[in-house]
Amino acid sequence: MLSICLLVLSAWLAIIVILFAWHAMFIVAIWREPTLACPVVIVESDDWGVGPESDAEELNRIADTLARIRDATGHPAVMTLGVVSGHPDGARILASGLATYHRQTLLEPRFAAIVDAMRAGCKAGVFALQWHGLEHLWPAALMARVREDASLQAWLADPRARSESLPSPLQSRWTDASRLPSAALASADVEAAVREEAGLLAAVFGSVPRVAVPNTFVWNDDVERAWVAAGVYCIVTPGRRFEGRSATGGLLPPTRTFRNGERAASGAVLVVRDDYFEPIRGHKAEQVWAAVERKTCLGRPTLLETHRESFIASRELAALAHHELERALRGVLERHPDVRFMSTEALAAYLSDPSSKIRERSIRRRFGTFLHRLQADAALLRPLKFSGLRWVLMLATRVLDRLVPGRPQANSR
């Protein structure tokens, strides 16, 4: 009987060794990912740019709300603005008989109020600008499609049309979606477009944002290299990279996965944004609180993805968005008095600095967080379950959570 038990134990240990060997890169990456010593919350809002003057009013309202909510260090809550600095000029494109592309940009005087609101928010420390593209599309792809698509011609004819209402594949700037599946853009075209974007952003704001957010999270090495050459320091990702659109218009399978603080081949620091706060889609403050609890348990920052559309809809929906934003952030402060508000650029700098004040240096605390991360990682869920290690890790995590004072004790599942 003893020999059978030893045989079973040996077989189980062999399975564990094989499991760890097979997933060694994942496990090492999980351990190496920086562990935060306190909660970090950043609201990331994309698509701000060319629009009616009412957009400036909404930005000012958001800025006022954020300025009233401050962490224990006195820093106000921060919303990053993914700036789209141009938009197709539909009237001129149609006047050309769909022969020539024209755009309107934030340099035009009629958009001065929007630019002023962005600048004022940055000066107050509640806004931080991010590079989100000259347009939320690739102009040549739009022009190729619009000549055969009456609905796109109607979109161009509507002076109130926003990029948010374009077909999803066309909203991906860094791939040619004129036909599906999409095709890669020429490297020279990417470099030229990035240089043009950088020049416009510098002309409007005096400098180029050091954080880039790819439209629809579709980009490749050519785009990264061009961004870094133009001054980008950090790239916001969903933890994966997509490089094109499928025959049905959906995202192609991811080509790479990322973790917070990882360095890309281009040298840029990568951060992960995979929590959502979209009031126009029914998201509430409670979802934010749950996300912050989960990410705090995992020693990771909470980057909340939202979009302009939640704040520019009807007056009633916009009021709801403002209400839920304030309720969410005040609720975070109540639940996590040690929370820190900052820009994504500041977060990237902290993640890159092992001696930074918000990184955990206690090995015991880091190991406890590591155990939580192992159980939460999607790539390890099945191996841990079928090997039986999941239950061992759960027990070890609970024991360590009780032994290490101050460790957040949340359900990592």
Write the DSSP string, 136-174: SS-HHHHHHHHTT-HHHHHHHH-TT--GGGS-GGGG-TT
Is the confidence at residue 407, as pLDDT, over 60?
Answer: no
Amino acid code (one letter) for 230: A
Judging by beta carbons within 10 Å of its beta carbon (0-12, 13-18, 19+), is residue 389 exposed, middle or buried?
buried
Q: How do the domains of the chain map onto residue ranges?
A: 40-352, 362-413
- Mean pLDDT score, 57-76: 97
- Mean pLDDT score, 330-356: 96
pTM beyond 0.75, yes or no: yes
Is the confidence at residue 277, as pLDDT, over 70?
Answer: yes
The confidence score (pLDDT) of residue 411 equals 42
Is the confidence at residue 324, as pLDDT, over 80?
Answer: yes
Q: Is 302 left (phi over 0), alpha (psi -120 to 50) or beta?
A: beta
- Under the banding of pLDDT at 50, 70 and 90, the label for residue 401 is low
The confidence score (pLDDT) of residue 406 equals 55
Is the confidence at residue 70, as pLDDT, over 90?
Answer: yes
Residue 297 corresponds to which tokens in the numbers above? Answer: 């348990």
Into which CATH architecture does domain 40-352 fall? Alpha-Beta Barrel (3.20)
Residue 104 pairs in a beta bridge with: 87
Higher pLDDT, 201 or 1: 201
Please write the tens of the pLDDT for every residue from 201-245.
999 999 999 999 999 999 999 999 999 999 999 999 999 999 999
- Percent of the residues in the chain that have a pLDDT greater than 70, as a whole number: 85
Instruction: Taking the CA atoms of 324, 48, 215 and 229 in sequence, report the sign of the dihedral they define.
Output: negative
- Mean pLDDT score, 44-61: 97
